[in-house]
Structure 1
């Protein structure tokens, strides 16, 4: 007993010190947090303290009629029948500026489906705008409760100017539960981006350029149907990081598409000998074999049908038909050699982007749309079954910069808040990374020479 008393005399001060340190750390975190995070920290405390009672009211507990070992021993001495135990799932709560993230355990008869059915009760009890429940591994779920709506909260993105660690991931923004959303670009031949003017299409693509520009393993070429010269329009600040650019001139665009098709053919003919694989994505892009991204803004400018019998109209019609054929070649055959096409248009209906191009692009984003037909063209027929996620509901100014897309592995459609990149930041990134700009044709020539092979040089693309 004296030894135990001695241990207790030491344990009490140690426990007091540990509790004091924990309180100090909590206070420091609270003081250093921003206003929204402080509210979420108080919310997290309420969630923890009220969980046992709330779980019972929401039907997220289970009654265990089998007594535990200690209850059996006690019952055998007293001769009484052990009372059944009410088991409550254990949780861990983490606050952030938008709300709380709750990691919860499952129990027999209290699984993912039961949590999802109780989501609306949890949202009311936690004073959240919405609550989602997703699996978090065997025996676990993650409950996301957002107090403020991430979709109506404008966000900004300041590019670091550092190369991405993973060139196969495109970070799009956050979804309606403030979870980060990204898509894989590996083995993706094309992306379509739709939406009414001013909805955020070009801003979203600007972020893509700013994020990938610091890598010499990515080279970008742009054709923009809204302008006539590189010094005009949305890409004027980024053109220094593009190895080629042309405006709304159909002849110039046609020449550019032809040269990219020639690059595709050259790469296809030597990829196995040079890279040792049939698909570039098996080894990934490199400065010698960069991922070549073709951005076609206002794509309908280059594809729309010209009707008329006069010589000028016939010539323009022939040009747009050939442009469609050339871009089809890039989308259908460029994936394995590292060519990605991003097509941007207000509506991605068949008259704006030919269906034989649009339907091959596996990734489709749509910002605000005015009609259901435009939403269907951008996202597919299934969007009719998800009216609450339709881009037609995004016409309010608060949703500028919000896009809808179908995410692999998720049911239905996901709404995403894309961040705004300022013109000053875009210009800064383009300036500091301009030395990385290179013509992929010349890169291929250098690679072939380095491997002891010869090739017929293709004229470089000029700005």
Structure 2
């Protein structure tokens, strides 16, 4: 093709380019018009980030000078003078969401993860963000997360889908301070502790957990609620249809429930190799016939409190509380591989509320607002002293209702997470629609091995039920 022909096609090429630009602009306008106010602000912010980046990067020390000329530059300079050095800046891809922007940047020599992390405060000011974080995405690329609106003080809600979860035992908790989803894998986890002042989000957190897993017949729930006397009272009244067992604050009633679950644990221990052909349920996951059993102990201090007194009634209560602690200890220490988990909820998870021999084997801990450092340490461990910004004592303001601090094994530091609100009406609806999935795990086990008689197993004597030959 001759030069004249190429120049002759220039108007066509220019027209095509203009058409592409106009189409992109039209699509952007449509998305902008359909977005809510928060998303629109983020879209404008994304445009500003792209537009100002070439000027901002060198000022923030995020550029590098390339003194080696390209081949084309060398050929274009025939006067013997060396081409001018090029100033390179990282290439960006910017994507907005409701809280701000997610920016992916390509690294350059001497402009990579460490340099971008150091410049994060400057980027936050320039991009008008509450905070900016920089993390490794993949080799040669980083992710810069800028939040315009603080996710921790932006209240959110969650509507259960009514569908079974795609990933069993992955607990979706909420979003962190950078609006990134926070979840924790509860497979192989024996126990979870949840602490915090009344009215700061503990109940809503557990509501979401139950509602998200209620549509799966491979999960069965039992609750001991120390706040109420009867099942029709309190926070779990609307969820009763999806619970295979419930006990109120009466220590005898709770003791009977804990004994029932210990009998189940021992029966499962005796039967697991025969039924599942393996010694750990999580190696294949839960099933309808062998479901994941979740025991929720709300206001746990009610069931474990040490009763002081010499009268007969007080001694009986003290004996029941001591046995309750021993039974729950067995469930947390020995139930993990058998597909059983205990979630303990209290205001202050000090040793008098949750005995340390139970609390210390629970690798996942969450705490909503606390009044004292002592309570924060009891809930999250001594390491919380080294992370003052994450201390739950700073979460006592009304704007932080629903915000928790989380600690899991293997995680450095602590995560602050905004948990969503789940309405009582939606909780009741999910429980009603999934009530037909409720089954007693003991009955399911007995149906597979008729030789097991759980009623003959006394948690006090260490026996296990006999298996059919």
Q: Tell me if both proteins adopt one fold, taking TM over 0.5 as the criterion.
A: yes
Question: Deviations for 1:162-207, whole angstroms, at most 9, x for unmatched residues?
Answer: 1111112100001111111000011000000000111111111111
1:139 paired residue number: 140
Change (3 A) 1:190 1:407: closer
1:14 paired residue number: 16
Change (3 A) 1:365 1:314: same
Whether contact under 8 Å (1:407, 1:414) holds in the other structure is no
The Cα shift of 1:455 comes to 2.2
Question: Deviations for 1:74-100, whole angstroms, at most 9, x for unmatched residues?
Answer: 34x221122222110011111111111
Instruction: Identify the match of residue 452 of structure 2 among 444, 452, 455.
Output: 455
1:205-224 equivalent positions in 2, closer than 5 A: 205-224=206-225
The Cα shift of 1:132 comes to 1.0
1:258 correspondence with 2:265: no
Whole-angstrom CA distance in 2 between matches of 1:411 and 1:28: 43
Whether contact under 8 Å (2:363, 2:409) holds in the other structure is no
- SS of the residue 1:260 aligns to: helix
2:322 paired residue number: 321
**CA-based RMSD:** 1.5
Whole-angstrom CA distance in 1 between matches of 2:283 and 2:18: 57
Whether contact under 8 Å (2:196, 2:370) holds in the other structure is yes
Structure 2: runs of 5+ lacking an equivalent: 458-469
- SS of the residue 2:306 aligns to: coil
1:62-461 equivalent positions in 2, closer than 5 A: 62-75=64-77, 77-407=78-408, 411-448=412-449, 454-458=451-455
Whether contact under 8 Å (1:307, 1:317) holds in the other structure is yes
Whether contact under 8 Å (1:196, 1:346) holds in the other structure is yes
The Cα shift of 1:408 comes to 5.8
1:28 paired residue number: 30
- SS of the residue 2:223 aligns to: strand
The Cα shift of 1:52 comes to 1.3
- State which drifts further: 159-168 or 330-339: 159-168
Question: Deviations for 1:306-329, whole angstroms, at most 9, x for unmatched residues?
Answer: 111111111111111111010000
Question: Deviations for 1:398-433, whole angstroms, at most 9, x for unmatched residues?
Answer: 100100012566532111110000110000000000
Whether contact under 8 Å (1:173, 1:181) holds in the other structure is yes
Whole-angstrom CA distance in 1 between matches of 2:401 and 2:262: 35
The TM-score, its normalising length taken from structure 2, stands at: 0.94
Change (3 A) 1:436 1:299: same
Change (3 A) 1:362 1:410: closer
Instruction: Identify the match of residue 47 of structure 1 among 40, 43, 49.
Output: 49
Whether contact under 8 Å (2:365, 2:408) holds in the other structure is no
Whole-angstrom CA distance in 1 between matches of 2:93 and 2:166: 30
Whole-angstrom CA distance in 2 between matches of 1:342 and 1:258: 17
- State which drifts further: 66-75 or 327-336: 66-75
Whether contact under 8 Å (2:38, 2:98) holds in the other structure is yes
The TM-score, its normalising length taken from structure 1, stands at: 0.96
Whether contact under 8 Å (2:364, 2:409) holds in the other structure is no
Change (3 A) 1:407 1:119: farther
The Cα shift of 1:332 comes to 0.4
1:59 paired residue number: 61
Whether contact under 8 Å (1:190, 1:342) holds in the other structure is yes
Question: Deviations for 1:216-250, whole angstroms, at most 9, x for unmatched residues?
Answer: 00000000000000100011111110001010010
The Cα shift of 1:127 comes to 0.7
- SS of the residue 2:357 aligns to: helix
The Cα shift of 1:107 comes to 1.3
Whether contact under 8 Å (1:58, 1:121) holds in the other structure is yes
Whole-angstrom CA distance in 2 between matches of 1:427 and 1:372: 36
Structure 1: runs of 5+ lacking an equivalent: none
- State which drifts further: 155-164 or 82-91: 82-91
Whole-angstrom CA distance in 2 between matches of 1:296 and 1:205: 11
